[in-house]
Each structure stands twice: as structure tokens, then as C-alpha cells.
Structure 1
């Protein structure tokens, strides 16, 4: 049996500056390559990726073999899937479009056991992954060990962020700068690296840290990831698997054809 997967909240609180592998292509081998490459955490994306129950379960198993925590991003409002993925071994759930306190309460209800939420019992795989094979031990520690992460990506979410962060069971937020840029421009522009988004990111980090919660972010590349970690985000992506693979192919082809690699 492999060693237990590290506690994700403990990892982010103690280490910070963690890098997130973002996997949209539902391929267990790709998720495993991200873990092997050294990403601290890997996210399997059901919202805009091709992951489903079976591929997520297989991917989480692959990540556990490398000793890496796995997050699952569910589709909008799919709170039943959140519970299923926690049972399947996810270290945490990322939920998009959590815009109100009511949204946050529904998310927490699906991801936390009583008295915080209403998560139903059935965590066989999660017990194996965490090493908490005694049911009472798992029940006692699960709420603190599994992360419930609300995405903050709209004007409404920003306005309600202090109240969302006060909802019992919400452990942190994840910012999607692309949607945030569209929201801040009232649908006029996609500019995730623009000054308006950067200003909003700084305020989101400030509010989240002041509430004692964990700020996370999607970043499209290494430079932006460094900027976000410097702002105070505890976890940031470096693009996603499809983009990174395509860029690697482009660089290799450029070199093979005698040109300068695309950097």
C-alpha cells in the first residue's frame, strides 16, 4: 500500500507558493505525468474538461500513487458530484459560479459531514487514500482535511465575498481571471492579465486571507503564476495540460525544422 496522500489544507497553510497542475484532457497518464513532474497538486476538470466519474476516479488513484492530492472541479451547480468525488478520493472540490451565500451553503452542505454539512457516508476510497481506515477516525478528521473551494469570478461574487467566506465549511476560493475579466468589463473584453483584473485579484487575496481562508488562482502561464503567488495566493496553476502539450509540440517542431524554439 502506498503512503497516505498529504493533507491538502496542511500543505497549503504550511508551505504556500504551491503550483497546481490543471488537467482538462481526461487521460490518467497525463494526470500522472503532472504529478511525476513535481506539481504540488493536480486538478481534474469536469466543468470545461472531459473528465467524468470514471476518469476522475482513475485519475485520483494515479495521483495517490505519486503521493499527490487531487482536486476535482465540478460543473456549475453539480453538488451531488462533489460528494461523489470526495468519496472517490478527491482532496477537495472546486465549485464554479459560487456567487451568493446561498450558493456557498449548498456547496458546503454537499462537501462536509454533519454538523457542518449534510454529506452522506460512503468514503471507502478516501479512507484508503488518507490512511484513515478506521471509520470513526475518518469521520472525525474529514471536514478539516477535505477542502471546499468556491470560485470567485463575477461582480456578484466579489461583492458577497466576505459573507461567502463566513459560511461554515468554505475553506477557500479560487479565482478564474478569464471569467472575472469578462464580468468586470460587462462582457466587453477577455483580458485576464489586465490592470482591472490584477487590482481585483489583490483585493480578493486581502479579503480571503483576512478571513483566515486559502486563496487559489488559475494562471495561464509561469510568469503570471509567479505574480499571483507574490500577491499572496497559496496555490496557482501554470496553464492546463492541453495548452502545455501544444506548446511543447510547437517548440519541438520549431527546433527540428531548424528555427528558434518558440518561447
Structure 2
């Protein structure tokens, strides 16, 4: 477990999806069996309680699939609780500048990298006995910190954000980004593509992973060819809706 950060920083693509609506943690097994490398439990647009989040993380550990939790915002409790519950890492929305990125790292990493509070024998240690000194170093090495570029400001500051030690990935939120740029959901608009290029270049220049949300396998392949490494394909509800709609249309035809 907890190989996602290493994989991304080694330049290997990892394919996940967003879980936004499902309430049954057994979906972790479904996604693992399907071949996903990870899933993002959406605590920004989703409505998961801390207890439900904890259930998902426990089941995912048994299923052998890693979980990145998208927090509501860069805030101490929103970052600390998922990590203590066993998340492989975090996806932090609307990170627009170096200061916000530094705050994310500060809350997510143990000293000396950050100021994460120490508690052991919880889900993040599988309730086992660990050597504290060794564990803190290991946790810092394996915990993924991904920040989202969702505004023109974030793209303009992408080089500064990517240079922050402890930030592993800048993940583009294409819907919010296009909306912020005044071209809502026009994903192929030149202004959108030019802005995404800024983010991807900043990641490449700083040996950080670039991430992207996509809605089709074809788009996933295109962005991987452009340098994306953390790929989130669709969402749980979209996969169910799209798959069901296509099947029913064929049956009725």
C-alpha cells in the first residue's frame, strides 16, 4: 500500500476515478477488480461524514486500492482527519499560490517537513506497533500531496506552487478552470489549452506530477501523451449513468 506517490514521481501514469455519490464502501472492491490504481473520495462536492470516510478507507485497505481524499479546503482538520484515517494522500482544491501550497504541506507532513500532529496505532498504521522515528520519515515519503489548479491565477503561479517542497502533483480541474477563464466547459478552447500547458510545464520543470480529470478513455490517452500522470477518469455516478444508458439504448433498439 501507499505506492501512489512513488509511482507518480517515477513518471508512471496512475488511473483512478472520483467517488462522489456511492455510500457502500464495497465499491472499493469493484474499482480494484476493474483495475483502477486508486480512487478519489470526494469530500468537496460529495457529502461524506467523517465516519463514512473512515469506513471507505478501511475497506479500501482490504481491497488493495489506494484512496486519495479530496478535502473541502486547505484547513488543518480537513487534512489531518483523512490522513489519520488511512488515506494515501490528499487532493486540495483551489490552491492558487505558493502560500496556500505551503499550508497544505505544513498540515499534511510530520516534522521537520511540516507540523502534522502525531498519533499512532490508528488506521494509518493499521493499528500496529511502529517505530515512531522511522514511521514519521516513512509517512512523509509516502503521503501524496496533490493541489488543484482551477483558476487562471493558479496557472500563472504554477511554477511557484510546483517549487514548494512536499507538493507532489498539480492536478488540473478543467471544469472550474474553464469557467474561471470565461469559457465554461470549452475544454478544447485555445485559452484553456494554453493555460493547462503552463501547469504541465511547471510540473515538468520541477519534477512534479501533472494531473487531469477526463471523461473518456481517448481523452485519458491524449493527456498521458501530453505528460499527465495522475489521471482521474469520470466519476462513480457518471460511469453508472453512462454505462446504463448505453446498455438500455442497445437493448431497446
TM-score past 0.5 threshold = yes
Worse-superposed segment, 38-47 or 194-203? 194-203
Q: How big is the shift at 1:32? A: 2.8
1:114 and 1:69 map into 2 onto residues whose CA distance is 24
Whole-angstrom distance in 1 between the partners of 2:124 and 2:228? 27
Matches within 5 A, 1:85-96: 85-96=82-93
User: What does 1:112-127 correspond to in 2, within 5 Å?
Assistant: 112-123=109-120, 124-127=122-125
Misfit runs of 4+, over 6 Å:
none
What SS class does the counterpart of residue 212 from structure 1 fall into? coil
Residue in structure 1 matched with residue 48 of structure 2 by the alignment: 51
SS at match of 1:173: strand
Corresponding residue for residue 80 of structure 2? 83
For 1:8, which of 4, 7, 13 is the aligned residue? 4
Shift in Å at residue 198 of structure 1? 2.4
What are the superposed Cα offsets for residues 28-52 of structure 1, whole Å, 9 maximum, x if unpaired? 1223311221101111001011223
Please name the residue that 2:181 is paired with. Answer: 184
TM-score (normalizing by structure 2): 0.92
Q: Give how far 1:201 is off.
A: 2.1
**Contact in 1 for aligned 2:2/2:142 (Cα 8 Å):** no
Contact 1:154 1:179 in 2 (8 A): yes
Assess if the C-alpha contact under 8 Å between 1:6 and 1:69 holds in 2: yes
**CA deviation vs aligned residue, 1:142-163 (integer Å, no higher than 9, x gap):** 1111011111111111111111
Using the alignment, how far apart are the partners of 1:102 and 1:126 within structure 2? Answer: 27
Please state if 1:20 is matched with 2:16: yes
Contact 1:149 1:173 in 2 (8 A): yes
Task: Please give the per-residue CA displacement for 1:68-116, whole angstroms capped at 9, x wherever unaligned.
Answer: 2110000123331211111111111000011122211211111011111
Residue equivalent to 2:190: 195
Task: Work out whether 1:72 is the aligned partner of 2:73.
Answer: no
What's the secondary structure of 1:76's corresponding residue?
A: coil
> Shift of residue 167 of structure 1?
2.0
In the alignment, the residues of structure 2 paired with residue 57 and residue 88 of structure 1 have an alpha-carbon distance, to the nearest angstrom, of 6
Aligned to 2:103: 106
CA distance in 2 between counterparts of 1:209 and 1:14 reads 12
Uncovered stretches (5+) of structure 1, i.e. residues with no partner = none
CA distance in 2: counterparts of 1:234 and 1:248, whole angstroms: 25
Q: Name the SS for the 2:86 alignment partner.
A: coil
Q: Distance in 2 between matches of 1:79 and 1:227?
A: 36
**Equivalent-residue separation in structure 2 for 1:184 and 1:135 (angstroms):** 46
Q: Note the alpha carbon deviations across 1:118-166, whole angstroms, 9 max, x for none.
A: 100124211129x883333211211111011111111111111111122
**Equivalenced residues, count:** 251
1:93/1:19 CA distance change after superposition, 3 Å: same
Q: Which runs of 5+ in 2 are unaligned?
A: none
Preserved contact between residue 155 and residue 198 of structure 2 (Cα < 8 Å): no
